[in-house]
Amino acid sequence: MLLLITAVVAKAQPDKVNAAIGLLQKGNLDSAKIYIDAAVKDPVTADNGQVWYYRGFIYKSIYKEREKDNRKSPIRLEALNSFKKSLFLDTTQENVQNNQNNIKFLASTLFNDAGASLDSVNYKVAIEDFDVYKQYYVLVDPSPTNLKQKEIDFTMAIATVYYEIYQGDRAGKLDFLTFTKNAYNKVLTLDPNNISANYNMGTLYYNQAVNLIKQSDYTIDIVALNDVQDNSIKLFKESLPFMEKAYDLDPTRPETLLGLSGIYFSLNDKEKSDMFKKKLDEINKHK
């Protein structure tokens, strides 16, 4: 950093930039921020990529000193925006590398904060941080494969949070069951062969059917009882293709075999239910 500052001073940048750099050297971040903000508004330096880089560096320094525990840090976002602007204004190799390194660091803090916020209270912060992370991650690693996997991992995690919220209040939080299904569907759009997403979707529908049966009052009239049976069968049938897909992808997974046995039993197909139960017993014998 000192070499960079020396180089800039030597180039005799306008007073606002030199003042900001001098104050940064002294650790006076608040005053450095004032001067660098003025510099990026000055027509003389507003389109200078290096000036925006220094703004990013100053804001990054403030973030590290004061807001590194703030998962919604506005200073971090300003730093990222500044490095991004610098990246597009100055495409020299040295500048690109410096900006990408800083973006990579700050983006990693967003990713970590998103992971730390994956709970029933802070999940909205997790989503916000991950969305911003994605915007900047592509500036560092444009490979669609890597970002796709991170998207899958995060969406699987948020689906778990949604389902936990639903389980805590099935009647009052029914929307979260829909959110859970939407999350798994998103994963399956990105990766149709994702075993966990297929199995979890199958389990969702299966559990929904079982809960519907358990919650029914056996004193209800025959019409209402038929409705419960029809709806539960519909849910078991919706569960089946996901569980079968999970089985095709991994025929030895005990949970999937148990699920298929239960689904076919509920659909009155005892032969297939027994077949999967037998497969499960054989696997358990060899453990």
CATH number at residue 237: 1.25.40
**232, 170: one domain:** no
Q: What's at 131, amino acid-wise?
A: D
Q: What pLDDT shows up at residue 158? A: 98
One domain for residues 86 and 10:
yes
Tell whether 22 and 47 lie within a shared domain: yes
Q: Based on the domain organization, do 128 and 78 belong to the same domain?
A: yes
Q: How many domains does the chain have?
A: 3
Residue finishing a domain among 161, 187, 213: 187
Indicate if 209 and 256 belong to the same structural domain.
Answer: yes
For residue 124, the model assigns a pLDDT of 97
pLDDT at site 90: 87
In the listed set 163, 187, 211, which residue is the last one of a domain according to the structure? Answer: 187
1 shares a domain with 111: yes
pLDDT in tens, the chain (287 residues): 544 544 444 343 578 999 999 999 999 999 999 999 999 999 999 999 999 999 999 999 999 999 999 999 999 999 999 999 999 998 888 889 999 999 999 999 999 999 999 999 999 999 999 999 999 999 999 888 889 999 999 999 999 999 999 999 998 999 999 999 999 999 999 999 999 999 999 999 999 999 888 876 656 666 566 777 888 999 999 999 999 999 999 999 999 999 999 999 999 999 999 999 999 999 988 76
Let me know whether 137 and 83 are in one domain: yes
Give residue 9's pLDDT: 42
37 lies in the same domain as 171: no
In which domain, by residue range, is 111 found?
A: 1-142
CATH number where 67 lies: 1.25.40.10
pLDDT of residue 88: 94
pTM of the model: 0.86
Co-location of 183 and 281 in the same domain: no
Q: Do 222 and 175 sit in the same domain of this protein?
A: no
Q: Are residues 71 and 22 in the same domain?
A: yes
